Structure formats: structure tokens, C-alpha cells
């Protein structure tokens, strides 16, 4: 059985890291939109939801929406953490994934997809 990596109790689907030690823990892919960043329009920008812990002020880490395009525009200063290294990231918890937990996660993911409160 695979372990589940969580941040503040929410299962993580992606983690981004930067050279300065900032982390973006992605827990949901919300929707796509056309985003305007620095005066330029980026079509079909994937909007993510997750927990952001910036190195400059880790005590003010918070949940919120994250533009995938904005992360990509940071270039080689930000990268996706390989899944096999997620357990090394700060503040994450590793939980054993039992069959019962898999069923619960599937149910919660379906409710989240439908826009219901979990």
C-alpha cells in the first residue's frame, strides 16, 4: 500500500520547491481560466489550491489559490519535487493508506469535484 502525504490533514497531489526554501503544497486542481499576469494574457491557466509556505515568512504560511502559470513563469527558480522525496518536505505528514482510507479519499475527491463541502 502506498503512503499518503498530507499537509495540515489534506492529501497532497503536487509539491513545488524553490532555491530559497519556499514550498507550494498543492491539494486540488480547481479550474482553468484566462489569467492576466504582468499585462499579458495566459489562456487556460490551471488554478490550483493549496498551502503556501514562503521562506521569507514561514510563520505566515496560508491556504489559497495558486496560478500554475505564475509558478511556471518563475522558470528554473521553482521545480516540482519528485514524489519519492515528498516525505522530506517541511510540515508534511506521512499516513499509511489502508483500503478503508482509499475509499474515504475517493469519496471526498468525488464530493470535492462536484463542489460539495467535504
Name the residue ranges covered by the structural domains of the chain: 3-113
> Using an 8 Å Cβ cutoff, are 87 and 4 in contact?
no
Q: Which long-range contacts (CB under 8 A, 24 or more apart) does 35-43 make?
A: 35/67, 35/69, 35/70, 37/67, 37/69, 37/70, 37/73, 42/69
Q: Which long-range contacts (CB under 8 A, 24 or more apart) does 109-116 make?
A: 112/28
Q: What's the confidence (pLDDT) of residue 95?
A: 84
Q: What's the confidence (pLDDT) of residue 40?
A: 97
Block means of pLDDT (10 residues each) for the chain, length 118 residues? Answer: 86 96 97 97 98 95 97 95 94 79 66 60
Q: What's the confidence (pLDDT) of residue 43?
A: 97
DSSP 82: P
Amino acid at each position: 500500500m502506498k503512503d499518503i502525504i498530507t499537509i495540515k490533514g489534506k492529501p497532497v497531489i503536487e509539491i513545488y520547491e524553490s532555491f530559497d526554501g519556499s514550498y507550494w503544497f498543492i491539494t486540488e486542481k480547481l479550474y482553468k481560466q484566462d489569467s492576466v499576469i504582468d499585462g499579458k494574457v495566459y489562456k487556460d491557466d490551471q488554478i490550483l489550491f493549496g498551502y503556501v509556505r514562503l521562506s521569507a515568512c514561514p510563520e505566515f504560511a496560508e491556504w489559497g489559490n495558486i496560478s500554475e502559470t505564475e509558478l511556471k513563469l518563475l522558470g528554473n527558480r521553482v521545480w516540482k519535487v519528485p514524489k519519492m522525496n515528498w516525505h522530506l518536505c517541511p510540515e508534511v505528514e506521512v499516513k499509511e493508506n489502508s483500503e478503508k482510507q482509499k475509499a474515504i479519499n475517493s469519496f471526498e475527491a468525488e464530493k470535492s469535484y462536484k463542489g460539495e463541502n467535504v
